[in-house]
Structure 1
Amino acid sequence: MRAAANLLLAFAAQWQDLEHLMPPKGGDKVIDSALDPAKPNYSKDKPTLYRERHGWCPYSERSWLALEHLNVPYDTIRIDNTGPGQKPSYFSGQTPQMRWPDGKIQGESMNLVHEVNERFGGDLYPSADVTATADKFRKIFPSKSRPSSRAAFLFGWSGEPLWKSEFERVLSETDELLGSTDGPFFCGESFTAADIAWAPFLERYGAQLPCLHEGLNARDATKYPHLNSWFTAMETSVPAYACRVQGNPSSWRKVLTMAGFGNAGVPPDVIDRMDDFNVEEARPQSEEERVIEQKLWDDYRSTRSWLALTPSAEAGNTLLNNRHAIVKDTVKRSSSLEGKGIPLDEKNLDRAMRALATILIYGTEDDGKYDELKQASSEAASVNGVYAFAKFLDERMCVPRDMGSMSAAAIKRLAALA
C-alpha cells in the first residue's frame, strides 16, 4: 500500500494506477435491458432474476434480498417498469420474475423467496410462523392506497397522502407485532423471510413518511421502540441488506418529486419538508459506526472477492468502472451545471473524477492511518471541482441501482464539503 501511495503524490494518478489497486473484476452478470435490449445468452447453471432497473420496486427487492442473503450465484436483467419504458421483446409481465436454468419462468415475490430458499438450502423459513407473519403485512399496511413502485402505500386515489392517523395505525400495529416476539426481527432473534416481506416497505416508510406529515417518524424510538430496534438490527446485522440491497433515505425522498409515480402530483408541503432531512446522512461517521460498517462489509465481501476492501473504496471502484458513462452524462447536463464549480470540459472533468476516486479509495485526511495516504488524499482534494463533482453525483445517484447505500454514503459525506 505504501508503494502504491507514492504514485499519487502531487496527484499524478491515472486510471490505470487506480485499477492496479482494485481486485480483479468478477461477479454475476448484470444486463440493463433499457440499454442492451438484445436477447441474452442465459446461464445453464444459475437462475436469472428479472428486476426493476432503478431499484424502486419493493417486490423486486424481496427476491433480490433473498438471493443476496443466501449467497446464491445468479444473473440479473434489469427491466424498465416505468410507463413509457421500453421492455425488451423477450420479456412480458411484471417484475420480479425468475428464469430458472431449465427455462421455467416464475413470478410473485414471496413465491420466489420460498423457491430460492428451497432450492438452495436456506434458513429463511425455520417455522410455520414465518409465512403467517409475512402474510400479516397485507392486513396491516393500508389497503385503500394507489399502487406504485416508487411511493407504495402512501397516496390515496385523490392524489393526496393518506391521513396521518392511518400511517400511525400502521406503525403502531407493526410495532406491536414486533413486540410480540423475543425480537429484534419479526420472528424472533433471527432474520427470516418474514423480514424480507416487510423490509422494502418499512425501509421506504422510514424515509418518506416524515415528508408527508409533520411529526411522523417510523424510527421514533419513543413511540415505536420495537420498530426502531428492527431498523437497527437490519442495518447492523444483515450484511446483504446493509451492504447492497438497502436503498438510502435521500433516494426514497427524491422519487417523491417525480411525476407519474401513482399520485396526482406532489403536494407543496411535501416538497417543503424534504430538504430538511439531508444533513443527517452527510455527517461524518463516528468510530463505532465505522467499525460496525466495516465488519458488515468484511462479512459480505468474504464470498465476493471482486469487491473493494471498504465501502468507500467500492464507491471509487464504481467510478473507475463507469467513468466513461459518467463523463458523458455530466457533459450532457453542462448547461445546467454552469457556475456550480464543476469543470465541464472532458479533460478537467476526468481529472476531478480521478481525484474523487482517489479520495474514496484511500480515505480522507482525518481517517488515513499512514502519512502517505493522508498526502495522497490531500493532493487529490486540491483538484479543482472534486467536491462539487461529488455533490453532482450524489444528486444524480439512485440507490441501490448505482451502488449500495454504504458506498453511496461515502460520496455523500464528500459532497457535503463542496
Structure 2
Amino acid sequence: MERGLRTLEHSSRCISDRPFVLRTNQCHPRRLDRRSIRIQAVSVLKDVPTWQQLSACAGASALEGYVLRRKEVPRSAPTPTLPTTADAETDKPVLLYRDTNAWCPYCERVTFALAEKDVPYDSVLIDLRDKPAWYKDIVPTELTPAARINGELVYESMDILQRLEREFTEFPLLPSDASLREEAETVMGASEALGGAGFRFVAGGSLATRPDDEKPGPASDSQLAEMQAAFEEQLAEFEQQLSKHEGPFILGEFGLVDIVYAPALERLAANLPVMRGFKLRDHPDYPHTAAWFHALDQRPAYQKVKSDDVTHNQVFKRIFGVPLAAAPASSPGQVAARKEAAAKIAANRTAVVNDLLKNSGIVRGRTNQYGNTLRAVNGYPMEPSPAAVAAVEYALRRLCSWLLHGTPGPRHPDLEAAALGSAALVFFAGRASSPRDLSAAACTELRDGCWQLLKDMY
C-alpha cells in the first residue's frame, strides 16, 4: 500500500485515456514471455455497466420514498424531509422531528406507528449532537421525537403514540375491548423495565453508573451474572405475557403494545449475541419470544423502519465503547434488497464518492508520508485527483454490478487503483447505515457485497 500510492503523477498516469500497459522487467528471464502482454484499460473498464444502465436495471420502484438532500446532511433520507429550520411547514397532518441518523429507538416507535396507520407525514431531522436553539426552545425536554399533529406540538414517544391513536382512527392499534385495552396500558408501562435491564446487561457497566458504584466502568463476572439474571427475570415475564393469548403478538393480535416493545428488543437481539453471547431471537428457553420476533419481521411497516444488526452494533460501540466482535453477514439472494442497494448507490453516487474520498483516508496532502492524492490547479483549493475519483467510482460500479448480477465484472488492471477501491469498500461497509441510507435488508446485502469484492480486488 505504501509503495503503491507514491505520487499523484504516477496515479494519474495509470488511470488515463491511454491504454494501460503491464510492463515487465527485462532483467528477469522468467518474465520475457510477458513482454507482449497489453491490457487495454479503457475497453476493460467499459465492460462494467454505466450508471445509467445500472439505474435502469435496478428500476425506479426501488427508489420509492427515497429522498436526495443535495445541500443538507445526511445527503439522503428514507422518507420525505424538510429543511431543519424553525419555520418548516407541511401540508400533511403530521410533522415529525426525529434524529438525523434514524438510530433513536423512541423515534422508531413513532415511525413504525405512522407506517402501520398509513398516516402521511414529513420529517425535520435534528442533529442530536448539535440541536438547534429553536428546537430546544419549543421542546421542553430537548429530546427527540417530537411531532406537530394537526398543528399541535406533542413530545415524548408514548404521548405521540397515544395522540396518533386518537387522531387517526382508520387503522386502530389499541383493542376496542375494555379489559384488553387496560391490559395493553399495563404491559406498555412495563416496557422500560425490560429494555433497561437488557441494555445494562449489554453494556456491562458502560451504559450508566451501577447502583453501588460511584463511576461507570467494566463489570466483573459476578456483576455481569447479576445483570443477566435481572434481564432474564424481565424476559421471563415478557415470555409469560406472550403465552397468555392465541397468536404470536403480545395481546395475540398485532397492536400498539408490539410497537412500543419492538425498537428496544430489536437492538438487544442485535447486541446481545455479539457483546454477551446471548442469542435472544432464537433462545430455546423463550420460544414465544422467538415467535414474536418472526411474526414482527413479517410486517411490511416494520421492514420500512427497522435497522440491521451490524448498524446497531456499530452504533452501540461508538456511543458506549463496548468491544464489538464481527457480526456474521446474511446470505445473498435477496433480489429486491440488492436492487434497492444498487439503485440508491447509483442515484446518490456523487455524494457517496465524495464522502468516501474525504473520510476514508484516500485523499492525502503532499506532505503525507503515503503520498499525495490531491491537486491544486491555477490557485484553486486542493481537490482529489481524477485518478482517485475514477478508482473509487470503478469500485462502486463493480459493487453495484455484483448486487444486480451476482458478478462484479473485470478487476481494475492497475494495482494502485485496486488499492484505492479496496480502501473505499472497507470504509463503505462500515459507513452505510439503515434505515438512514437504505433498508436493513439492503444494508446487509451492501456490506456482504463489499466483503465479497474485497476478495476479488487483486
Regarding TM over 0.5, the answer is yes
Say which of 211, 220, 241 aligns to 2:302: 241
Per the TM alignment, residue 107 of structure 1 is displaced from its structure 2 partner at its CA by 1.4
Does the CA contact (< 8 Å) of 1:179 and 1:226 recur in 2? yes
- The reply on whether 1:223 has 2:285 as its aligned counterpart is yes
How far does the alpha carbon of each residue in 1:142-179 deviate from its partner, in whole angstroms, 9 at most, with x for none? 47988xxx999954444246622222222222222212
Say which of 249, 256, 261 aligns to 1:185: 249
* Bigger mean CA deviation after superposition, 85-94 or 54-63: 85-94
Counterpart of 1:349 in structure 2: which amino acid? Answer: V
Aligned residues: 353
Higher relative CO (CA 8 A, sep ≥ 6), structure 1 or 2? 2
Q: How does 1:164-175 map to 2 (within 5 A)?
A: 164-175=228-239
Say which of 346, 366, 375 aligns to 1:320: 346
Q: How does 1:41-56 map to 2 (within 5 A)?
A: 41-56=88-103
Q: How does 1:257-336 map to 2 (within 5 A)?
A: 257-259=317-319, 261=320, 266=321, 270-271=322-323, 274-275=324-325, 277-279=326-328, 282-285=329-332, 290=334, 310-335=336-361
* Alignment match, 2:146: 97
CA 1:19/1:380 → structure 2, altered by over 3 Å: closer, same or farther? farther
Per the TM alignment, residue 42 of structure 1 is displaced from its structure 2 partner at its CA by 1.4
- Unaligned 5+ segments in structure 1 are 1-7, 295-309, 366-376
CA 1:315/1:143 → structure 2, altered by over 3 Å: closer, same or farther? closer
Does the CA contact (< 8 Å) of 1:18 and 1:358 recur in 2? yes
Per the TM alignment, residue 223 of structure 1 is displaced from its structure 2 partner at its CA by 1.7
* Alignment match, 1:131: 185
Per the TM alignment, residue 64 of structure 1 is displaced from its structure 2 partner at its CA by 0.7
Does the CA contact (< 8 Å) of 2:97 and 2:147 recur in 1? yes
Q: CA RMSD in A?
A: 3.6
- The reply on whether 1:254 has 2:314 as its aligned counterpart is yes
* Alignment match, 2:65: 27
Counterpart of 1:228 in structure 2: which amino acid? Answer: A
Q: For 1:206 and 1:126, how far apart are their aligned partners in 2?
A: 27
SS at 2:251 equivalent: coil
Q: For 2:257 and 2:244, how far apart are their aligned partners in 1?
A: 14
SS at 1:416 equivalent: helix
* Alignment match, 2:132: 87
Counterpart of 1:416 in structure 2: which amino acid? Answer: W
Q: For 1:33 and 1:40, how far apart are their aligned partners in 2?
A: 16
- Unaligned 5+ segments in structure 2 are 1-43, 75-82, 365-369, 371-385
In the superposition, the TM-score normalised over structure 2's length comes to 0.67
Per the TM alignment, residue 351 of structure 1 is displaced from its structure 2 partner at its CA by 2.2
Does the CA contact (< 8 Å) of 1:68 and 1:240 recur in 2? yes
Larger Rg: 2
* Alignment match, 1:364: 406
Q: For 2:204 and 2:172, how far apart are their aligned partners in 1?
A: 31
SS at 2:134 equivalent: coil
Does the CA contact (< 8 Å) of 1:210 and 1:217 recur in 2? yes
Per the TM alignment, residue 252 of structure 1 is displaced from its structure 2 partner at its CA by 1.5
Q: For 2:347 and 2:163, how far apart are their aligned partners in 1?
A: 33
CA 1:145/1:252 → structure 2, altered by over 3 Å: closer, same or farther? closer
Q: For 1:218 and 1:240, how far apart are their aligned partners in 2?
A: 22
* Alignment match, 1:372: none
Per the TM alignment, residue 193 of structure 1 is displaced from its structure 2 partner at its CA by 0.4
Q: For 1:57 and 1:329, how far apart are their aligned partners in 2?
A: 23
Per the TM alignment, residue 132 of structure 1 is displaced from its structure 2 partner at its CA by 2.8
CA 1:347/1:166 → structure 2, altered by over 3 Å: closer, same or farther? same
SS at 1:89 equivalent: helix
